[in-house]
Amino acid sequence: MPINTMETATIFQKQLDQIAVREATTGWMDANAGKVKYNGGAEVKIPKMSVQGMGDYDRDEGYAQGSVTFTYETRTMTQDRGRKFQLDAMDVDETDFVVTAASVMAEFQRDFVIPEIDAYRLSNIANTAIDAKKAGMVNYGYTPGATGTSALRKLKEGIKAIRESGYNGPLVIHATDEFIMELELELSEKIRSITFSKGGIQTNVPSVDEVPIIPTSANRMYTAITIYDGKTEGQKVGGYTKGTTALDTNFMIIPRITPIAVTKQDKMRIFTPENYQKANAWSMDYRRFHDIWIPDNKKDSIYVNIKDAEPESDEK
């Protein structure tokens, strides 16, 4: 029986979106987008609500009238990324196409898509903190394990800085394995675990002061990345690499409500060997839009600890 490629593509699209949120270390950020409206393409509509503060209660007039404003703000995702894949018809027949295609897509997304989304988001967040120039919110020149230093103290200083800035809500920490190892050695196996929910999955992660610490690969913890276009000579491998002026981040502490992140796969297309004109092969088009935004009034709420010394110039 011929495969319904439209139905198969729809199923792949839904599953890949779910996997992207669940497996990305930054997947928890997607929840802040709320009930985002997405109809394909680069635009999303993010709900925005504002209410008035409390007023005095009058025994004769009763409550002071308040107002609620609810609108949708249109945002454009600047990251428009994708790839085309071919599976030779001689290697894949209709009976095992779905299994093979699912394996290809899952590996591509796990090894390339998700790391790039994480690196893009975290570099954006780090740069936001640096550009905010709020005193005490960016710390430079700390190497985990260096003589006379304390990983625990560095972390607690960051939490304290955010609390003193007036934010008392839940926080999330992204930290490199190197930093977490020093923290665990310092606490002599006394570090506590906490349950952290991301993409509907509950996991146990280390914590300090009830703040979850998300282990994050060092190659996703840069202050800047260079994104390859997949076409230009030297960039054909695609993906991303550390930016030429980038600094290495040890950890960052982020209020859970601060980042608004969205990742959406546009309508996936699958062509059968009979319909694909360039080769006797199955063809799959993968296209993903994603981006992250930090509201202006929250840009100074992020704490970042950087391994490198502070640059002498303003160029990051």
- How does pLDDT run across 227-267, given as a tens digit for each residue? 999 999 999 999 999 999 999 999 999 999 999 998 887 77
How far apart are the C-alpha atoms of 55 and 43, rounded to whole Å? Answer: 38
State residue 95's pLDDT score.
Answer: 61
Residue-wise pLDDT for 153-198, tens only, equals 999 999 999 999 889 999 999 999 999 999 999 987 778 888 887 7
Rounded to an integer, the average pLDDT of 193-219 is 86
pLDDT score for 196 = 84
Q: Which domains does the chain have, with CATH numbers?
A: 5-52+68-306 (3.90.1690)
CA distances to 92, 105, 136 from 18, in Å: 26, 13, 37
Mean pLDDT of 141-154: 94
How far is the C-alpha of 22 from the C-alpha of 14, rounded, in Å?
A: 13
